Structure 1
Amino acid sequence: MKILYATTLALALAACAQAPVQQPPAVPMADSFREIPAGWADANAKAPLLPAEWWTMYQDPQLNQLEQQLIANSPDLASALARYKQAQAATGVLRAAESPTLGASLNGQRIRQSDLKPLRGATSPSEYNSGTLQFDLGYEVDLWGRISKQVSAGVAQERAANADLAAARLSLQIQLADTLLALRGADADIKLLRDTEAAYQRQADLVTQRHDGGTASGLDLARAQTQLESTRSLLRQRQAQRSVQEHAIAALVGASASSFKVETTDASFTTPALPVGVPSLLLQRRPDIAAAALRVAAASDQVGVARTALFPSLNLGTSAGLQSSDFGRFAQASNLFWAVGPTLAVSLLDGGRRKAQIAGAEAVLDEAGQRYRSVVLTAFQQVEDQLALLNNYDEAARFDHQAAEAAGRALDLAKKRYDQGAASYLEVVTAQTAYLQSRRSELDLSTRYRQAGVQLVKAIGGGWSAVQAEPAT
């Protein structure tokens, strides 16, 4: 009966220590995203995963080449991989606690005893040799699941680090594509400004001729020169911005900015209809959400580890070896010694240290849960943000294009009225300014629309999947 009672008590204590792993907290979730563009209905209904090399959807050879260069040479990506390897090694250290330990020591000494050593025997020599060869075998019995909980937490942290690596890789890939888009936008703007500079130069030459002929005022000439010099300033500023963007791409792909160059091209990204899916899919598609969920599991395991400190630990130990004062007859059977037996240890008084450790572990678990909620809610926000941008930029681009065409017609009319003497040159300058601003706005909006498409790829997790993901190499 006593044995049954003791067994029942042990099982009950083990159940207390082996609390179930806490699931991530629930997050309010809609059935669908609100800002889905109308033309994307079919793609969203099927919602397949993006390809791992998602950038190939844009069919841009320059982007393909730069993305491959980033994967091969990026120092930031190499650092993320090193952090994942650290997590792997940490898990290996924890797993080692599940196995027995075996140690060996060899000691040889020449000892001289004090003549007044307490309890020294009358026949004990003053000087003697001491040689010991000892093997120690130890094993901690995982009564309460402390070791298994530590290993489980380590595995969860390792998997979270793997998801972190995927998130870092995707973030760098998106940053590269986004920066290349900004550079392409700068190239288009630079071309427009150069064409505008040439047109303003021709206009200024014409006004100069008229001024020299007495048919144009000095005010008209000053206005023409102001337009020309202001455009030249805008061109130089844009060229500086392009250089900075080119340098940023060089750093991303692990190249020296001094020797790296991105060739100007007329090619432009086309934003395909992306399979956004429903909000619940983000829980499987986003590596940062997976990492946050895994850290909740790890923190839950650590609570279990802290609770096991309330219960005794059981260690099985064995020591054996040879010991002799005569080195010449060291390896004899008579010199053999051994000791074997279990050790049961429990802390009886610790001033509340273990309870404080449990409270701390529970607070870490609560923090991990709230961090998970924050990551999920932010993911929903990011998807809706990019969908809203795509939805509205697409329509705004049509308005901008119509505005640019109207500004072009107004400029033509202003030039004709000035040539006919029906208007001052101020009317031409005003029309020129409006036309240039509308064209630049159209180009900027086109770039921002494509950037929103690339950022949406990041928001839906790229081509990563928690279901299909394997450990990184």
Structure 2
Amino acid sequence: MSRRLVITGRFSAALRRRAPTFALIGAAAALAFQLGGCAVGPDYHRPDTAVPAAYKEAPEGFKVAQPADMADRGTWWLIYDDAQLNGLMDQLNANNQTVAQYAAAYRQARALVGEARAAYFPVVSASFSGTRSRTPTRVSNASGSFPSGNITNNVNLGLDATWEPDLWGKVSRTVSAEEAGQQGAAADLANARLSAQATLAQTYFTLRALDAQQKLLDDTVAAYQKSLTLTQNQYAQGVAGRADVIQAQTQLQSAQAAAIDNGVARAQDEHAIAVLVGQPASSFSIAASPLTATPPTVPLTMPSALLERRPDIASAERKAAAANEQIGVAISAFFPTLTLSASGGFESSVFSQLLQMPSRFWTLGPSLAATIFDAGLRSAQTQAARAAYDQQVAAYRQTVLAAFQDVEDNLASQRILAQEVVVQQQAVESAQHALSIVTNEYKAGTTDYQNVLSAQTTAFTAQQKLASIAGERMVSSVGLVKALGGGWDAAQMDRESGGVAAPAPASAASASGAAASTTAADTQRALNVQPQ
């Protein structure tokens, strides 16, 4: 019974000794929880930008997309109904190295979010050490003194924990900035993929247009060969002069040279496609097939929807959001930081007695630190953060302006080329008719060969121009799809990156979590995106 009283007495005395420390820790924690969520710095709102009410260059026949048209059309190239193009797109999505770089950058941004979130939690570390040391001494006896030494052992097993409460929202601002960076990286990845896909489609249709021109050149060479034969026959009969034969030969050879030169451009386009799909140009080839496709109708979205449909706009907006959060991080440096730390463990000179109660040690205590003088460092850092935000806002607005220009350029191109192809088709028919008349007159001997050469050149130029316009229309069609964002939507950033909210392990931490949640909600509203 007396032993129990002694133990109880020691325990009570220990509590009394620890009471001031525990009270100090409790007061500091209560203060941290009360101040948690007092995030300093400006709340983010998407920067205002001028959005037109309608597209100026929208040609007749184009319509504004209805809500049903806003469904995800990620495989936008299917509207061209080209099986070979579909296969090339599959290879690009799997093997394009530029897209792979942006995918790695996205994974890095996602890891940075986890790195920032770690600051919400305490840092706990463990240590173990063992030392054996000898200190010299001198021992004296009857025969004199001689050197000796004391050998001591020391074994230490410890556990340390530190935690810095997020009093002023520095951690939540940092997490929000990294989340915006992650979403921006997701948009950058989508933009890189869309750009590569559009480049592939445009290069593919350019190659097909070159195939059409190659067929035209081959047909022209065959026609000029017949014309040369006709002239040679006329010369043999004494109807035509030697100059007519030389002119016919010159025109044939020029057409043959043009046919060969066309192969250079086609080879370069084929090599470019090989790089886009991640294959060596040396082992890649595409069979020739003249272009026969015509641009499909592309439903337009409302101009305001372009802010959600273009990944480059979403990326620029997320960079502005991240820069805004960095202002709060810079402002938080003006306020004191509270650090709660605790350490404990066992220390003994005898290893077998290491884990016994007399060998234990511990320390507890809060630490409050504030910078009194820094020669204007924090003010300069805050000004730099505000300037960086203004820079990102300007970049965002410039991206929006460039996006509308891109749409208008391609709309104008589609409208004008559609009109031009009709006129050029009529020009081809007229040139062919004129060539037929002049050829018959030459056979009849009523006109000279110079008129035949002129009519042949006019007909060939008209046909070549028509083939070129057909290719330009397809390239412009792809450009319009890309300008409208392809099949992408800003909501895909959240589907790909996921939401990252501040942890709330205890009710006292709800204020800090609420601040992070509010930031995430503001981000959702700014993007006009529904949470997944």
Please say whether Structure 1 and Structure 2 have the same fold, judged by a TM-score greater than 0.5: yes
- Return the TM-score normalized by structure 2: 0.82
Does 2:283 correspond to 1:259?
yes
Q: Match for 1:57 among 68, 79, 86?
A: 79
Matched residue SS, 1:214? coil
* Structure 2: stretches of 5+ with no match in the other structure: 1-29, 138-147, 499-532
- Return the TM-score normalized by structure 1: 0.92
Counterpart mapping for 1:249-398 below 5 A: 249-266=273-290, 268-398=292-422
Does 2:194 correspond to 1:170?
yes
Q: CA separation in 1, counterparts of 2:389 and 2:180?
A: 13
Q: CA separation in 2, counterparts of 1:336 and 1:396?
A: 91
Matched residue SS, 2:155? strand
Counterpart mapping for 1:91-170 below 5 A: 91-113=113-135, 126-170=150-194
Alpha-carbon deviations, 1:83-142, whole Å to 9, x = none? 110101111111111111110111112234578xxxxxxxx9754222211111111111
Report the more deviating stretch, 268-277 or 350-359.
Answer: 268-277
Does 2:471 correspond to 1:447?
yes
Shift of 1:294: 1.0
Alpha-carbon deviations, 1:359-388, whole Å to 9, x = none? 111111001000000110011000000000
Q: Match for 1:226 among 238, 244, 250?
A: 250
- In structure 2, give the amino acid aligned to 1:229: Q
* Structure 1: stretches of 5+ with no match in the other structure: 1-6, 116-123
Q: CA separation in 2, counterparts of 1:158 and 1:125?
A: 62
CA 49–392 in structure 1, closer or farther in 2 if over 3 Å, else same: farther
Report the more deviating stretch, 280-289 or 205-214.
Answer: 205-214
Alpha-carbon deviations, 1:261-294, whole Å to 9, x = none? 2122356333222121221010111111111111
Contact 1:314-1:343 at 8 Å conserved across structures = yes
Alpha-carbon deviations, 1:295-341, whole Å to 9, x = none? 11110000000000011111110111111223343222111111011
Shift of 1:56: 1.1
Shift of 1:44: 7.0
CA 267–429 in structure 1, closer or farther in 2 if over 3 Å, else same: closer
CA 330–233 in structure 1, closer or farther in 2 if over 3 Å, else same: same
Q: CA separation in 2, counterparts of 1:354 and 1:142?
A: 18
Contact 2:212-2:291 at 8 Å conserved across structures = no
Contact 2:343-2:363 at 8 Å conserved across structures = yes
Partner of 2:481: 457
Which protein is bigger by CA-based radius of gyration? 2
Q: Match for 2:40 among 7, 12, 18?
A: 18
Q: CA separation in 2, counterparts of 1:217 and 1:114?
A: 124
Matched residue SS, 1:366? helix
Q: CA separation in 2, counterparts of 1:144 and 1:228?
A: 82
Q: CA separation in 2, counterparts of 1:46 and 1:326?
A: 78
Q: CA separation in 1, counterparts of 2:446 and 2:72?
A: 60
Counterpart mapping for 1:420-435 below 5 A: 420-435=444-459
Shift of 1:213: 3.8
Q: CA separation in 2, counterparts of 1:352 and 1:126?
A: 55
Contact 1:52-1:463 at 8 Å conserved across structures = yes
- In structure 1, give the amino acid aligned to 2:496: P
Contact 1:46-1:275 at 8 Å conserved across structures = no
- In structure 1, give the amino acid aligned to 2:298: L
Shift of 1:14: 7.5
